[in-house]
């Protein structure tokens, strides 16, 4: 018969006893199994074993290292072989022999989450993905020797953002490929895609490309395309600096504060008897954008200096959906800035006024400009006031010559 005092003491001490491991396995084996199961889930998701390659995600490379170690340690293999339904242990290992002082306990410790959970994505002595990405980018960048050639491009992009000719748009996977001539913001720095290399076949059968990236701080990098895409994914503030070229500006979809669900680009001709206007009436036009009725907009034209204090006639209208009035007007005004009407008139209070929205541009040229806006090629053209027509920019012409050659 047992001593009641001893029974009572045993009951009290049982509250402090270490819990038995589930399934009767030692804790270190449980951690090794949990780490191996993480690798198995990766294989189920991606259809292949994790790889060591530099262009792979940091956690995939960690899985690959740990799989090598699991293969190389006999004690680990004995534990997980019954679970290896994917044949992972049969693969070649990059670690020929484990070091003499490396054992199951060390591996189990590395497979244990810092916070106590068995999460292989939280590991001891491993930098975070953000730290690794930052270090990689610093290592990959070098001074750009011909940066003076690219500096005007960055200056123009900043000017385009101010006028609304370009938009900073969130980067959405699969929406548009990365192409030469694109601008982005990554980690707060503007970058320009100067070159996109030929397709490269990876060992996994995927296609990648080597890029030449120029940064606004005077450095450059030769990142792989997929590495840049991952960098965008890891930076929530990354943005594409979209332009009308290639249809990047959105005239539909999600609207901003100054956008309208539908709008009208209108072209006006003045009926003013002002001598210069009357003499050149057929080529003097005002271009504007409204979200309402054009007739309402011009109802009081003869009393407003912006309409030259005279009635006007509507000579053309173009309907667009999901447009931003300010950006669209700025685009036209920038395009025809060289042909702005230089005229001063007195308003109804006798004050001199210089209207800025009238241009010496034939109607057919405005019509052509609208078509180029719709098809996304407007940034390839400038207006030649002497020839009274749109002409291709030097860079656009050079690009076409290089493509043809």
Are the CB atoms for 78 and 85 separated by under 8 Å? Answer: no
Number of H helices, E strands in the chain: 13, 15
Q: What's the rounded Cα separation, in Å, for the pair 204 and 382?
A: 46
* pLDDT attached to residue 24: 63
Helix (H) or strand (E) holding 53, with range, is none
* pLDDT attached to residue 123: 38
Are the CB atoms for 391 and 344 separated by under 8 Å? Answer: no
Q: Which two tokens stand for residue 162?
A: 């101010």
Q: What's the rounded Cα separation, in Å, for the pair 76 and 127?
A: 25
Long-range CB pairs of 68-75, under 8 A, 24+ apart, other chains included = 68/93, 68/94, 68/95, 69/95, 69/98, 69/102, 69/107, 70/32, 70/35, 70/36, 70/39, 70/107, 71/95, 72/96, 72/97, 72/98, 73/98, 73/102, 73/103, 73/104, 73/107, 75/103, 75/104
Give the predicted TM-score (pTM) of the model.
0.41
Q: Which residue carries 């702005």 as its tokens?
A: 340
* pLDDT attached to residue 151: 92
* pLDDT attached to residue 142: 87
Q: What's the rounded Cα separation, in Å, for the pair 190 and 217?
A: 8
- Residues of the chain predicted below pLDDT 70: 1-24, 91-140, 163-165, 173-176, 202-205, 243-262, 321-324, 395-405
Are the CB atoms for 297 and 286 separated by under 8 Å? Answer: no
Question: Based on the number of CB atoms within 10 Å of its own CB, is 211 exposed (0-12), middle (13-18) or buried (19 or more)?
Answer: buried
Backbone angles phi, psi at 394, to 5 degrees: -60, -40
Report the alpha-carbon angle 13-19-25, nearest 5: 140
Residues 201-235 have pLDDT tens digits of: 766 667 788 899 999 999 999 888 888 888 888 88
């Amino acid at each position: 018969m047992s001593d009641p005092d001893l029974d009572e003491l045993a009951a009290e001490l049982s509250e402090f006893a270490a819990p038995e491991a589930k399934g009767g396995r030692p804790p270190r084996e449980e951690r090794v199994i949990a780490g191996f199961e993480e690798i198995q889930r990766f294989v189920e998701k991606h259809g292949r074993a994790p790889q060591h390659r530099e262009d792979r995600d940091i956690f995939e490379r960690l899985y690959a290292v740990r799989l090598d170690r699991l293969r190389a340690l006999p004690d680990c293999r004995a534990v997980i072989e019954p679970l290896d339904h994917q044949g992972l242990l049969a693969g070649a290992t990059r670690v020929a022999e484990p070091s003499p002082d490396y054992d199951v306990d060390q591996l189990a410790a590395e497979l244990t989450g810092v916070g106590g959970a068995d999460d292989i994505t939280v590991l001891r002595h491993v930098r975070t993905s953000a730290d690794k990405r930052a270090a990689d980018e610093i290592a990959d960048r070098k001074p750009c020797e011909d940066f003076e050639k690219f500096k005007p491009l960055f200056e123009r992009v900043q000017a385009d953002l101010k006028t609304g000719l370009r938009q900073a748009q969130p980067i959405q996977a699969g929406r548009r490929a990365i192409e030469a001539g694109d601008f982005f913001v990554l980690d707060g720095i503007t970058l320009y895609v100067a070159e996109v290399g030929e397709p490269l076949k990876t060992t996994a059968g995927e296609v990648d490309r080597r890029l030449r990236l120029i940064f606004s701080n005077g450095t450059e990098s030769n990142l792989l395309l997929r590495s840049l895409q991952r960098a965008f994914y890891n930076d929530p503030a990354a943005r594409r600096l979209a332009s009308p070229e290639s249809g990047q500006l959105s005239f539909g979809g999600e609207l901003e504060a100054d956008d309208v669900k539908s709008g009208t680009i209108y072209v006006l001709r003045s009926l003013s008897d002002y001598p210069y206007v009357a003499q050149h009436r057929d080529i003097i036009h005002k271009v504007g954008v409204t979200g309402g009725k054009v007739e309402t907009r011009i109802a009081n034209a003869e009393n407003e200096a912006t309409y030259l204090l005279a009635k006007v006639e509507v000579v053309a209208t173009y309907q667009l959906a999901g447009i931003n009035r300010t950006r669209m007007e700025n685009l036209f005004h920038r395009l025809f800035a060289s042909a702005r009407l230089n005229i001063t008139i007195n308003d109804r209070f006798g004050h001199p006024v210089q209207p800025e929205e009238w241009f010496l541009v034939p109607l057919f040229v405005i019509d052509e400009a609208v078509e180029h806006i719709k098809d996304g090629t407007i940034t390839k053209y400038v207006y030649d006031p002497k020839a009274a027509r749109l002409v291709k920019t030097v860079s656009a012409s050079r690009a076409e010559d290089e493509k043809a050659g």
